[in-house]
Amino acid sequence: MIEQGQTLPAATLSELGADGMMNHDTKELFANKKVVLFAVPGAFTPTCSASHLPGFVALADKIKAKGVDMIACVSVNDAFVMKAWGEAQNAEEIRMLADGDASFTKALGLEMDTQSFGGVRSTRYAMIVDNGVVTLLNVEAPKQFEVSKAEAILESL
């Protein structure tokens, strides 16, 4: 599993924007920026939709006021699902990034296999990334939602 002080792995994340599908190289996406990156097991799932993403939507201005250039949500879903979920959650201030094949999640060592329920998904976590380097990593224990919520990250900034 990735640790604080390590550089994010090279991978490609997808995003569906106004100009169509964009594929982002993680090295370029996180270069020269302070980023709050949080991951959810799945778009439109209960805790993710009721608490995790809405917390970052509600606190986006306060988080950015602490010097954060970008807030991004990543999930092992496709870019179409991530865009629809972001729109449904009024997440205009959050970059909704898709890790469709879980390659980024696996490279981080933060995957979990939910078997027939949904297959390989991301563990719930939040991190602060400064110029590609992880400066804070908060990984949730199974079935918990404490250390990766927006309030915890805001307090850490």
C-alpha count within 13 angstroms, C-beta hemisphere, residue 11? 20
Identify the active-site residue in 16, 29, 37, 48.
48
73 is catalytic: no
How far is it, in rounded angstroms, from Cα 98 to Cα 78? 5
Residue 119's alpha-carbon distances to 53, 58, 71, 116, 141, in angstroms, are 21, 30, 26, 6, 19
Q: Cβ distance 9 to 93 under 8 Å?
A: no
Hey, which residues are catalytic here?
Answer: 48
